[in-house]
A and B are shown apart, each in its own frame.
Chain A
Amino acid sequence: MSGFFSEPVHIGLAIVLGLLLSASVIVSVMRMRDEDNQYKELSDRVKSWWVMIGIFSLALLSSPNVSVVLFALISFLAFKEFVSIIPLRRADRRVLFWAYLTIPFQYYLVATGWYGLFVVFIPVWVFFLLPFRFLIAGQTDGFLKSVSAISWGLMITVFAVSHAAFLMKLPLSDGSVGGPALILFLAVLNQGNDVAQYVWGKLCGKHKIIPSVSPNKTWEGFLGGVGTTAVLSVLLSTILTPFSFGFAIMIGIFLGITGFIGDVTMSALKRDLRIKDAGALIPGHGGILDRIDSLSLSAPLFFHMVRYFYGAG
Protein backbone atom coordinates (compact mmCIF):
# COMPACT_ATOMS: atom_id res chain seq x y z
CA MET A 1 0.00 0.00 0.00
CA SER A 2 1.16 3.49 -0.65
CA GLY A 3 0.06 7.10 -0.30
CA PHE A 4 -2.46 7.84 2.41
CA PHE A 5 -2.42 4.37 3.92
CA SER A 6 1.34 4.19 4.34
CA GLU A 7 1.04 5.66 7.84
CA PRO A 8 -0.38 3.49 10.66
CA VAL A 9 -2.41 6.45 11.94
CA HIS A 10 -4.16 6.80 8.59
CA ILE A 11 -5.21 3.14 8.61
CA GLY A 12 -6.37 3.51 12.20
CA LEU A 13 -8.43 6.60 11.42
CA ALA A 14 -9.92 4.91 8.36
CA ILE A 15 -11.07 2.02 10.57
CA VAL A 16 -12.59 4.47 13.07
CA LEU A 17 -14.43 6.35 10.34
CA GLY A 18 -15.67 3.03 8.93
CA LEU A 19 -17.07 2.05 12.35
CA LEU A 20 -18.68 5.47 12.75
CA LEU A 21 -20.22 5.27 9.30
CA SER A 22 -21.78 1.90 10.09
CA ALA A 23 -23.07 3.26 13.41
CA SER A 24 -24.66 6.16 11.55
CA VAL A 25 -26.31 3.82 9.06
CA ILE A 26 -27.66 1.56 11.83
CA VAL A 27 -29.01 4.51 13.81
CA SER A 28 -30.67 6.13 10.81
CA VAL A 29 -32.40 2.82 10.02
CA MET A 30 -33.56 2.69 13.66
CA ARG A 31 -34.77 6.29 13.40
CA MET A 32 -36.92 5.50 10.34
CA ARG A 33 -39.38 3.44 12.41
CA ASP A 34 -38.93 5.58 15.49
CA GLU A 35 -42.43 7.00 15.99
CA ASP A 36 -42.10 7.88 19.68
CA ASN A 37 -38.65 9.44 19.24
CA GLN A 38 -36.96 7.07 21.66
CA TYR A 39 -33.72 6.98 19.67
CA LYS A 40 -33.35 10.77 19.43
CA GLU A 41 -30.62 10.83 22.08
CA LEU A 42 -28.76 7.96 20.40
CA SER A 43 -28.91 9.82 17.11
CA ASP A 44 -27.62 13.03 18.76
CA ARG A 45 -24.88 10.97 20.30
CA VAL A 46 -23.70 9.60 16.95
CA LYS A 47 -23.79 13.08 15.39
CA SER A 48 -21.65 14.39 18.24
CA TRP A 49 -19.25 11.51 17.64
CA TRP A 50 -18.73 12.77 14.10
CA VAL A 51 -17.80 16.22 15.41
CA MET A 52 -15.53 14.89 18.15
CA ILE A 53 -13.78 12.36 15.93
CA GLY A 54 -13.49 14.96 13.18
CA ILE A 55 -11.70 17.44 15.43
CA PHE A 56 -9.58 14.70 16.96
CA SER A 57 -8.55 13.30 13.55
CA LEU A 58 -7.60 16.72 12.20
CA ALA A 59 -5.44 17.34 15.26
CA LEU A 60 -3.69 13.97 14.98
CA LEU A 61 -3.08 14.45 11.26
CA SER A 62 -1.72 17.99 11.47
CA SER A 63 1.22 18.09 13.89
CA PRO A 64 2.21 16.84 17.35
CA ASN A 65 1.87 20.28 18.89
CA VAL A 66 -1.65 20.77 17.53
CA SER A 67 -2.64 17.55 19.30
CA VAL A 68 -1.05 18.85 22.50
CA VAL A 69 -3.06 22.07 22.20
CA LEU A 70 -6.24 20.05 21.64
CA PHE A 71 -5.64 18.06 24.83
CA ALA A 72 -4.88 21.31 26.69
CA LEU A 73 -8.23 22.61 25.50
CA ILE A 74 -9.96 19.43 26.68
CA SER A 75 -8.33 19.86 30.10
CA PHE A 76 -9.43 23.47 30.26
CA LEU A 77 -13.05 22.71 29.33
CA ALA A 78 -13.17 19.76 31.73
CA PHE A 79 -11.65 21.70 34.64
CA LYS A 80 -14.05 24.58 34.00
CA GLU A 81 -16.99 22.19 34.06
CA PHE A 82 -15.64 20.64 37.25
CA VAL A 83 -15.31 23.94 39.15
CA SER A 84 -18.75 25.00 37.90
CA ILE A 85 -20.52 21.97 39.38
CA ILE A 86 -18.77 21.68 42.76
CA PRO A 87 -19.60 23.90 45.74
CA LEU A 88 -16.85 26.46 46.35
CA ARG A 89 -16.32 29.56 48.46
CA ARG A 90 -16.07 33.05 47.11
CA ALA A 91 -12.51 33.24 48.47
CA ASP A 92 -11.56 30.36 46.17
CA ARG A 93 -11.95 32.48 43.04
CA ARG A 94 -8.42 33.82 43.14
CA VAL A 95 -6.96 30.41 43.86
CA LEU A 96 -8.84 29.05 40.87
CA PHE A 97 -7.17 31.61 38.67
CA TRP A 98 -3.81 30.04 39.56
CA ALA A 99 -5.23 26.57 39.20
CA TYR A 100 -6.26 27.42 35.63
CA LEU A 101 -2.72 28.62 34.91
CA THR A 102 -1.33 25.15 35.64
CA ILE A 103 -2.96 24.00 32.38
CA PRO A 104 -0.74 25.93 29.91
CA PHE A 105 2.33 25.07 31.97
CA GLN A 106 1.55 21.37 32.18
CA TYR A 107 1.04 21.22 28.42
CA TYR A 108 4.18 23.26 27.81
CA LEU A 109 5.97 20.45 29.63
CA VAL A 110 4.24 17.97 27.32
CA ALA A 111 5.16 19.92 24.18
CA THR A 112 8.81 20.11 25.19
CA GLY A 113 8.84 16.48 26.30
CA TRP A 114 10.16 17.47 29.75
CA TYR A 115 9.14 14.23 31.45
CA GLY A 116 10.89 14.82 34.80
CA LEU A 117 8.88 17.92 35.64
CA PHE A 118 5.73 16.84 33.77
CA VAL A 119 5.19 13.89 36.06
CA VAL A 120 5.69 15.79 39.34
CA PHE A 121 4.44 19.30 38.56
CA ILE A 122 0.81 18.81 39.63
CA PRO A 123 1.10 15.97 42.18
CA VAL A 124 4.11 17.55 43.93
CA TRP A 125 4.55 21.24 43.24
CA VAL A 126 0.95 22.31 42.75
CA PHE A 127 -0.37 19.89 45.33
CA PHE A 128 1.83 21.32 48.08
CA LEU A 129 1.87 24.98 47.07
CA LEU A 130 -1.78 25.52 46.15
CA PRO A 131 -3.01 25.10 49.77
CA PHE A 132 -0.67 27.96 50.68
CA ARG A 133 -2.40 30.17 48.12
CA PHE A 134 -5.69 29.11 49.73
CA LEU A 135 -4.57 30.18 53.19
CA ILE A 136 -3.34 33.55 51.93
CA ALA A 137 -6.98 34.13 51.02
CA GLY A 138 -7.45 34.07 54.79
CA GLN A 139 -10.65 32.08 55.09
CA THR A 140 -10.17 28.87 57.05
CA ASP A 141 -13.82 27.77 57.12
CA GLY A 142 -14.18 25.09 54.47
CA PHE A 143 -10.41 25.09 53.79
CA LEU A 144 -10.08 21.31 53.62
CA LYS A 145 -13.10 20.94 51.34
CA SER A 146 -11.87 23.52 48.85
CA VAL A 147 -8.24 22.35 48.84
CA SER A 148 -9.17 18.73 48.30
CA ALA A 149 -11.80 19.48 45.67
CA ILE A 150 -9.50 21.67 43.57
CA SER A 151 -6.54 19.30 43.92
CA TRP A 152 -8.62 16.30 42.88
CA GLY A 153 -10.09 18.29 40.00
CA LEU A 154 -6.64 19.21 38.72
CA MET A 155 -5.54 15.58 38.97
CA ILE A 156 -8.40 14.14 36.92
CA THR A 157 -8.83 16.93 34.38
CA VAL A 158 -5.28 18.20 33.87
CA PHE A 159 -2.73 15.71 35.17
CA ALA A 160 -4.56 12.63 33.90
CA VAL A 161 -5.57 14.01 30.51
CA SER A 162 -2.10 15.38 29.85
CA HIS A 163 -0.80 11.80 29.97
CA ALA A 164 -2.74 11.02 26.81
CA ALA A 165 -0.98 13.98 25.15
CA PHE A 166 2.44 12.92 26.45
CA LEU A 167 2.13 9.62 24.55
CA MET A 168 3.04 11.79 21.57
CA LYS A 169 6.51 12.41 23.02
CA LEU A 170 7.13 9.13 24.83
CA PRO A 171 10.49 7.62 23.77
CA LEU A 172 10.17 3.87 23.18
CA SER A 173 12.69 1.07 23.63
CA ASP A 174 12.91 0.41 19.88
CA GLY A 175 14.31 3.93 19.41
CA SER A 176 11.09 5.43 18.07
CA VAL A 177 8.84 7.99 19.75
CA GLY A 178 5.22 7.26 20.67
CA GLY A 179 3.47 9.62 18.32
CA PRO A 180 -0.13 9.92 17.17
CA ALA A 181 -0.60 6.18 16.61
CA LEU A 182 -0.28 5.47 20.34
CA ILE A 183 -2.76 8.23 21.21
CA LEU A 184 -5.19 6.89 18.65
CA PHE A 185 -4.81 3.39 20.09
CA LEU A 186 -5.64 4.63 23.60
CA ALA A 187 -8.50 6.85 22.42
CA VAL A 188 -10.17 4.16 20.31
CA LEU A 189 -9.87 1.48 22.98
CA ASN A 190 -10.98 3.81 25.75
CA GLN A 191 -13.97 5.33 23.97
CA GLY A 192 -14.73 2.04 22.19
CA ASN A 193 -14.85 0.35 25.59
CA ASP A 194 -17.45 2.90 26.77
CA VAL A 195 -19.59 2.18 23.73
CA ALA A 196 -19.06 -1.61 23.99
CA GLN A 197 -20.01 -1.68 27.69
CA TYR A 198 -23.11 0.39 26.88
CA VAL A 199 -24.15 -1.82 23.95
CA TRP A 200 -23.52 -5.12 25.78
CA GLY A 201 -25.41 -3.74 28.76
CA LYS A 202 -28.38 -2.79 26.57
CA LEU A 203 -28.36 -6.13 24.74
CA CYS A 204 -28.06 -8.56 27.64
CA GLY A 205 -27.54 -6.61 30.86
CA LYS A 206 -29.24 -8.26 33.87
CA HIS A 207 -27.07 -8.37 36.98
CA LYS A 208 -26.28 -4.94 38.35
CA ILE A 209 -22.75 -4.28 39.59
CA ILE A 210 -23.13 -1.20 41.81
CA PRO A 211 -26.77 -0.10 41.69
CA SER A 212 -26.25 2.56 44.38
CA VAL A 213 -23.81 4.49 42.18
CA SER A 214 -24.68 3.65 38.61
CA PRO A 215 -27.94 1.72 38.15
CA ASN A 216 -27.34 1.04 34.44
CA LYS A 217 -24.04 -0.76 34.90
CA THR A 218 -24.31 -4.54 34.67
CA TRP A 219 -21.91 -7.46 34.86
CA GLU A 220 -22.90 -8.45 31.32
CA GLY A 221 -22.10 -4.97 30.00
CA PHE A 222 -18.83 -4.83 31.90
CA LEU A 223 -17.57 -8.27 30.85
CA GLY A 224 -18.79 -7.89 27.26
CA GLY A 225 -17.03 -4.52 27.08
CA VAL A 226 -13.78 -5.87 28.50
CA GLY A 227 -13.86 -8.79 26.05
CA THR A 228 -14.60 -6.54 23.09
CA THR A 229 -11.85 -4.14 24.09
CA ALA A 230 -9.35 -7.01 24.39
CA VAL A 231 -10.20 -8.22 20.88
CA LEU A 232 -10.03 -4.68 19.50
CA SER A 233 -6.70 -4.22 21.25
CA VAL A 234 -5.20 -7.29 19.54
CA LEU A 235 -6.46 -6.15 16.14
CA LEU A 236 -5.33 -2.53 16.45
CA SER A 237 -2.03 -3.18 18.20
CA THR A 238 -0.57 -4.81 15.09
CA ILE A 239 -1.20 -1.62 13.12
CA LEU A 240 -0.68 1.10 15.71
CA THR A 241 1.75 -0.20 18.33
CA PRO A 242 4.90 -2.26 18.86
CA PHE A 243 3.03 -4.39 21.45
CA SER A 244 3.38 -8.17 21.59
CA PHE A 245 0.28 -10.37 21.33
CA GLY A 246 0.31 -11.09 25.07
CA PHE A 247 0.72 -7.45 26.04
CA ALA A 248 -2.06 -6.43 23.65
CA ILE A 249 -4.54 -8.81 25.30
CA MET A 250 -3.45 -7.74 28.75
CA ILE A 251 -3.66 -4.01 27.99
CA GLY A 252 -7.08 -4.47 26.36
CA ILE A 253 -8.47 -6.12 29.49
CA PHE A 254 -6.69 -3.51 31.61
CA LEU A 255 -8.25 -0.61 29.66
CA GLY A 256 -11.67 -2.23 29.91
CA ILE A 257 -11.36 -2.34 33.69
CA THR A 258 -9.83 1.12 34.17
CA GLY A 259 -12.44 2.64 31.83
CA PHE A 260 -15.17 1.14 33.96
CA ILE A 261 -13.59 2.40 37.20
CA GLY A 262 -13.14 5.92 35.79
CA ASP A 263 -16.73 5.93 34.60
CA VAL A 264 -18.27 4.93 37.93
CA THR A 265 -15.93 7.25 39.84
CA MET A 266 -17.38 10.20 37.97
CA SER A 267 -20.88 8.75 38.46
CA ALA A 268 -20.27 8.78 42.21
CA LEU A 269 -19.23 12.44 42.04
CA LYS A 270 -22.32 13.39 40.04
CA ARG A 271 -24.55 11.43 42.38
CA ASP A 272 -23.01 13.24 45.34
CA LEU A 273 -23.71 16.59 43.68
CA ARG A 274 -27.20 15.40 42.64
CA ILE A 275 -26.74 16.18 38.98
CA LYS A 276 -27.27 13.96 35.96
CA ASP A 277 -24.67 15.40 33.61
CA ALA A 278 -21.66 17.60 34.27
CA GLY A 279 -22.58 19.95 31.43
CA ALA A 280 -24.38 20.29 28.12
CA LEU A 281 -21.50 20.98 25.74
CA ILE A 282 -21.86 17.78 23.69
CA PRO A 283 -25.43 16.98 22.54
CA GLY A 284 -26.43 13.43 23.52
CA HIS A 285 -23.41 12.97 25.78
CA GLY A 286 -23.70 15.74 28.38
CA GLY A 287 -20.61 17.66 29.30
CA ILE A 288 -17.00 17.04 28.39
CA LEU A 289 -16.43 15.53 31.85
CA ASP A 290 -19.10 12.95 31.07
CA ARG A 291 -17.19 12.02 27.92
CA ILE A 292 -13.68 11.83 29.40
CA ASP A 293 -14.62 10.25 32.75
CA SER A 294 -13.15 6.91 31.73
CA LEU A 295 -10.14 8.50 30.00
CA SER A 296 -9.17 10.39 33.16
CA LEU A 297 -8.33 7.11 34.82
CA SER A 298 -7.19 5.09 31.81
CA ALA A 299 -4.76 7.64 30.34
CA PRO A 300 -2.19 7.84 33.18
CA LEU A 301 -2.38 4.11 33.94
CA PHE A 302 -2.01 3.14 30.26
CA PHE A 303 0.85 5.63 29.91
CA HIS A 304 2.80 4.12 32.79
CA MET A 305 2.15 0.55 31.65
CA VAL A 306 3.52 1.37 28.20
CA ARG A 307 6.42 3.32 29.66
CA TYR A 308 7.33 0.46 32.01
CA PHE A 309 7.18 -2.29 29.39
CA TYR A 310 8.10 -0.48 26.19
CA GLY A 311 9.71 2.82 27.25
CA ALA A 312 13.34 3.63 26.49
CA GLY A 313 15.81 3.23 29.32
Chain B
Amino acid sequence: MKQNVIQFLRLCFYGVVIRPILILMLGLNVRHLERLSVEDMPRLIAANHNSHLDALVLMSLFKLADLPKVKVVAAKDYFCRTPFLTWFSMNIIGIIPIDRKGGEQDPLAPVLSALDAGYTVVIFPEGTRGDPEKRQPLKYGISKVLEQRPDTQITPVFMHGLGKSLPRGEAMLVPFVCEINIGEAVRWDGDRTHLIETLGACFDTLEAELEPKEWL
Protein backbone atom coordinates (compact mmCIF):
# COMPACT_ATOMS: atom_id res chain seq x y z
CA MET B 1 0.00 0.00 0.00
CA LYS B 2 1.18 3.51 -0.73
CA GLN B 3 2.84 5.33 2.13
CA ASN B 4 0.49 8.31 2.07
CA VAL B 5 -2.57 6.04 2.18
CA ILE B 6 -1.12 4.32 5.25
CA GLN B 7 -0.33 7.69 6.79
CA PHE B 8 -3.93 8.80 6.18
CA LEU B 9 -5.30 5.61 7.74
CA ARG B 10 -3.04 6.16 10.71
CA LEU B 11 -4.28 9.71 11.28
CA CYS B 12 -7.88 8.48 10.99
CA PHE B 13 -7.18 5.67 13.43
CA TYR B 14 -5.86 8.06 16.08
CA GLY B 15 -7.92 11.16 15.29
CA VAL B 16 -11.32 9.58 14.61
CA VAL B 17 -11.24 6.30 16.53
CA ILE B 18 -8.71 6.07 19.34
CA ARG B 19 -8.59 9.61 20.67
CA PRO B 20 -12.38 10.13 20.92
CA ILE B 21 -12.80 6.69 22.52
CA LEU B 22 -10.05 7.31 25.05
CA ILE B 23 -11.34 10.78 25.91
CA LEU B 24 -14.93 9.60 26.29
CA MET B 25 -14.43 6.15 27.81
CA LEU B 26 -11.53 6.96 30.09
CA GLY B 27 -10.90 10.68 30.14
CA LEU B 28 -7.32 11.92 29.93
CA ASN B 29 -6.34 14.48 32.54
CA VAL B 30 -3.01 15.81 31.29
CA ARG B 31 -0.65 18.23 33.05
CA HIS B 32 2.13 20.09 31.19
CA LEU B 33 1.14 18.93 27.72
CA GLU B 34 3.33 21.72 26.31
CA ARG B 35 6.42 19.76 27.41
CA LEU B 36 5.62 17.05 24.89
CA SER B 37 7.19 18.65 21.83
CA VAL B 38 8.80 16.77 18.97
CA GLU B 39 10.84 19.76 17.79
CA ASP B 40 14.36 19.33 19.04
CA MET B 41 15.25 15.88 17.88
CA PRO B 42 16.25 13.25 18.78
CA ARG B 43 13.94 12.58 21.66
CA LEU B 44 12.79 9.69 23.82
CA ILE B 45 9.50 9.77 25.70
CA ALA B 46 9.95 7.57 28.75
CA ALA B 47 6.76 6.42 30.50
CA ASN B 48 5.88 4.07 33.33
CA HIS B 49 4.13 0.92 32.16
CA ASN B 50 0.81 -0.34 33.57
CA SER B 51 -1.37 -1.54 30.74
CA HIS B 52 -1.51 -2.45 27.08
CA LEU B 53 -3.39 0.83 26.67
CA ASP B 54 -0.29 2.85 27.61
CA ALA B 55 1.07 2.92 24.06
CA LEU B 56 -2.23 4.09 22.54
CA VAL B 57 -2.75 6.74 25.20
CA LEU B 58 0.75 8.15 24.83
CA MET B 59 0.43 8.28 21.05
CA SER B 60 -2.93 10.09 21.39
CA LEU B 61 -1.28 12.87 23.38
CA PHE B 62 0.61 14.11 20.31
CA LYS B 63 -0.85 16.57 17.85
CA LEU B 64 -2.07 14.77 14.75
CA ALA B 65 0.43 16.74 12.67
CA ASP B 66 3.28 15.39 14.83
CA LEU B 67 2.13 11.77 14.75
CA PRO B 68 4.04 10.75 11.60
CA LYS B 69 7.22 11.60 13.51
CA VAL B 70 6.45 9.37 16.52
CA LYS B 71 6.91 5.65 17.13
CA VAL B 72 6.33 3.55 20.22
CA VAL B 73 8.32 0.57 21.43
CA ALA B 74 6.11 -2.48 22.01
CA ALA B 75 6.39 -6.18 22.78
CA LYS B 76 6.75 -8.26 19.64
CA ASP B 77 5.10 -11.35 21.15
CA TYR B 78 1.92 -9.36 21.89
CA PHE B 79 1.62 -6.91 19.01
CA CYS B 80 2.88 -9.22 16.27
CA ARG B 81 0.87 -12.39 16.89
CA THR B 82 -0.59 -12.65 13.39
CA PRO B 83 0.51 -11.27 10.01
CA PHE B 84 -2.39 -8.79 9.92
CA LEU B 85 -1.78 -7.67 13.50
CA THR B 86 1.90 -7.23 12.66
CA TRP B 87 1.06 -5.03 9.67
CA PHE B 88 -1.48 -3.08 11.71
CA SER B 89 0.83 -2.58 14.71
CA MET B 90 3.79 -1.52 12.59
CA ASN B 91 1.98 0.81 10.19
CA ILE B 92 -1.14 2.09 11.89
CA ILE B 93 -0.30 2.05 15.60
CA GLY B 94 3.31 2.80 14.68
CA ILE B 95 5.20 0.41 16.92
CA ILE B 96 8.83 -0.59 16.97
CA PRO B 97 8.60 -4.31 17.83
CA ILE B 98 11.06 -5.44 20.52
CA ASP B 99 11.78 -9.08 21.20
CA ARG B 100 11.41 -9.34 24.97
CA LYS B 101 12.94 -12.78 25.12
CA GLY B 102 16.16 -11.36 23.71
CA GLY B 103 16.62 -12.74 20.22
CA GLU B 104 19.93 -12.95 18.42
CA GLN B 105 19.84 -9.26 17.49
CA ASP B 106 20.61 -6.38 19.86
CA PRO B 107 17.13 -5.41 21.16
CA LEU B 108 18.05 -1.72 21.17
CA ALA B 109 19.15 -1.59 17.52
CA PRO B 110 15.66 -0.73 16.16
CA VAL B 111 15.34 2.12 18.70
CA LEU B 112 18.68 3.56 17.64
CA SER B 113 17.85 3.41 13.96
CA ALA B 114 14.44 5.08 14.59
CA LEU B 115 16.19 7.90 16.48
CA ASP B 116 18.69 8.21 13.63
CA ALA B 117 15.80 8.46 11.18
CA GLY B 118 14.49 11.47 13.13
CA TYR B 119 11.64 9.81 15.01
CA THR B 120 10.55 10.64 18.53
CA VAL B 121 10.44 7.25 20.25
CA VAL B 122 8.14 6.35 23.15
CA ILE B 123 9.70 3.73 25.42
CA PHE B 124 8.91 2.08 28.73
CA PRO B 125 12.16 1.95 30.73
CA GLU B 126 10.61 -0.37 33.34
CA GLY B 127 10.47 -3.06 30.68
CA THR B 128 7.41 -5.06 31.65
CA ARG B 129 4.08 -3.81 32.96
CA GLY B 130 4.50 -5.57 36.30
CA ASP B 131 1.85 -5.19 38.98
CA PRO B 132 -0.57 -2.49 37.92
CA GLU B 133 0.16 0.98 39.30
CA LYS B 134 3.33 -0.23 41.06
CA ARG B 135 6.43 1.31 39.59
CA GLN B 136 9.21 -1.10 38.70
CA PRO B 137 12.91 -0.28 38.96
CA LEU B 138 14.13 1.32 35.75
CA LYS B 139 16.17 -0.95 33.53
CA TYR B 140 19.50 0.05 32.09
CA GLY B 141 18.38 -0.29 28.47
CA ILE B 142 17.45 3.39 28.21
CA SER B 143 20.88 4.46 29.45
CA LYS B 144 22.54 2.32 26.79
CA VAL B 145 20.57 4.21 24.16
CA LEU B 146 21.76 7.53 25.57
CA GLU B 147 25.34 6.30 25.75
CA GLN B 148 25.27 5.59 22.05
CA ARG B 149 23.23 8.68 21.07
CA PRO B 150 24.28 11.30 23.65
CA ASP B 151 22.31 14.14 21.98
CA THR B 152 19.03 12.44 22.82
CA GLN B 153 16.74 14.10 25.36
CA ILE B 154 14.40 12.08 27.55
CA THR B 155 10.97 13.44 28.44
CA PRO B 156 9.57 11.51 31.42
CA VAL B 157 5.80 10.87 31.49
CA PHE B 158 4.05 9.49 34.56
CA MET B 159 0.64 7.90 34.03
CA HIS B 160 -1.88 6.67 36.57
CA GLY B 161 -5.23 4.98 36.07
CA LEU B 162 -4.73 2.74 33.05
CA GLY B 163 -3.52 -0.05 35.32
CA LYS B 164 -6.90 0.21 37.02
CA SER B 165 -8.86 0.34 33.76
CA LEU B 166 -7.11 -2.56 32.06
CA PRO B 167 -4.41 -4.22 34.19
CA ARG B 168 -2.31 -7.17 33.16
CA GLY B 169 -4.25 -10.40 32.91
CA GLU B 170 -7.68 -8.72 32.72
CA ALA B 171 -9.71 -8.63 29.53
CA MET B 172 -12.53 -6.47 30.95
CA LEU B 173 -12.10 -2.73 30.62
CA VAL B 174 -13.48 -0.71 33.51
CA PRO B 175 -13.39 3.06 32.97
CA PHE B 176 -11.21 5.15 35.30
CA VAL B 177 -9.93 8.63 34.56
CA CYS B 178 -6.31 8.48 33.42
CA GLU B 179 -4.04 11.05 35.06
CA ILE B 180 -0.91 12.04 33.16
CA ASN B 181 1.95 14.25 34.30
CA ILE B 182 4.70 15.24 31.88
CA GLY B 183 8.14 16.25 33.17
CA GLU B 184 11.02 18.44 31.94
CA ALA B 185 13.48 16.83 29.55
CA VAL B 186 16.46 14.98 31.02
CA ARG B 187 19.85 15.06 29.27
CA TRP B 188 22.78 12.69 29.13
CA ASP B 189 25.65 13.62 31.45
CA GLY B 190 28.05 10.80 30.70
CA ASP B 191 27.15 8.37 33.46
CA ARG B 192 24.62 5.54 33.12
CA THR B 193 23.91 5.04 36.81
CA HIS B 194 23.48 8.76 37.31
CA LEU B 195 21.04 8.96 34.37
CA ILE B 196 18.89 6.19 35.80
CA GLU B 197 18.88 7.90 39.21
CA THR B 198 17.94 11.27 37.70
CA LEU B 199 15.14 9.71 35.69
CA GLY B 200 13.90 7.78 38.71
CA ALA B 201 13.84 11.00 40.74
CA CYS B 202 11.84 12.70 37.95
CA PHE B 203 9.26 9.95 38.08
CA ASP B 204 9.08 10.27 41.88
CA THR B 205 8.36 14.00 41.56
CA LEU B 206 5.79 13.55 38.81
CA GLU B 207 4.03 10.84 40.81
CA ALA B 208 4.04 12.93 44.00
CA GLU B 209 2.52 15.90 42.12
CA LEU B 210 -0.37 13.78 40.90
CA GLU B 211 -1.13 12.27 44.31
CA PRO B 212 -2.56 9.16 42.65
CA LYS B 213 -5.28 7.16 44.41
CA GLU B 214 -3.82 3.72 44.99
CA TRP B 215 -5.93 0.63 45.56
CA LEU B 216 -6.68 0.15 49.24
Contacts and interface: CB of A to CB of B under 8 A. Distances in A.
Interface of A: 76-77, 80-81, 83-90, 93-94, 96-97, 100, 142, 145, 279-281
A281 B176 contact: no
Given A80-B27, A86-B213, A100-B175, 12 more contacts: A76-B175, A80-B176, A81-B27, A83-B176, A88-B216, A90-B215, A93-B172, A93-B174, A97-B172, A97-B174, A145-B216, A279-B29
B172 A84 contact: no
A87 B133 CA distance: 14
Contacts of A145: 216
Interface of B: 26-27, 29, 161, 164, 170, 172, 174-177, 213-216
Q: Is the interface of A mostly helix, strand, loop or mixed?
A: helix
Contacts, number: 45
A97 to B, nearest CB: 5
Contacts of A77: 27
Contacts of B174: 93-94, 96-97, 100
B216 A84 contact: no
A145 B216 CA distance: 10
A87 B216 contact: yes
Contacts of A85: 213
B216 A142 contact: yes
A138 to B, nearest CB: 15
A102 B29 CA distance: 25
A84 B170 contact: no
Nearest to A86: B213
Contact of B27 (A89, A90, A93, A279): A279
A87 B211 CA distance: 12
Contacts of A89: 215-216
Contacts of B164: 93
Contacts of A280: 29
Contacts of B26: 80
Contacts of B161: 84
Nearest to A76: B175
Nearest to B173: A97
B13 to A, nearest CB: 24
Contacts of A281: 27, 29
B27 A87 contact: no
29 contacts: A80-B26, A80-B175, A80-B176, A80-B177, A81-B27, A81-B177, A83-B176, A84-B161, A84-B176, A84-B213, A86-B213, A87-B213, A87-B214, A87-B216, A88-B213, A88-B215, A90-B215, A93-B170, A94-B172, A94-B174, A100-B174, A100-B175, A142-B216, A145-B216, A279-B29, A279-B177, A280-B29, A281-B27, A281-B29
Contacts of B172: 93-94, 97
Contacts of A279: 27, 29, 177
Contacts of A76: 175
A95 to B, nearest CB: 9
Nearest to A79: B175
Nearest to B215: A90
Nearest to B165: A93
A58 to B, nearest CB: 17
A71 to B, nearest CB: 15
Nearest to A85: B213
Contact of B177 (A84, A93, A94, A142): A84
Nearest to B30: A280
A83 B174 CA distance: 10
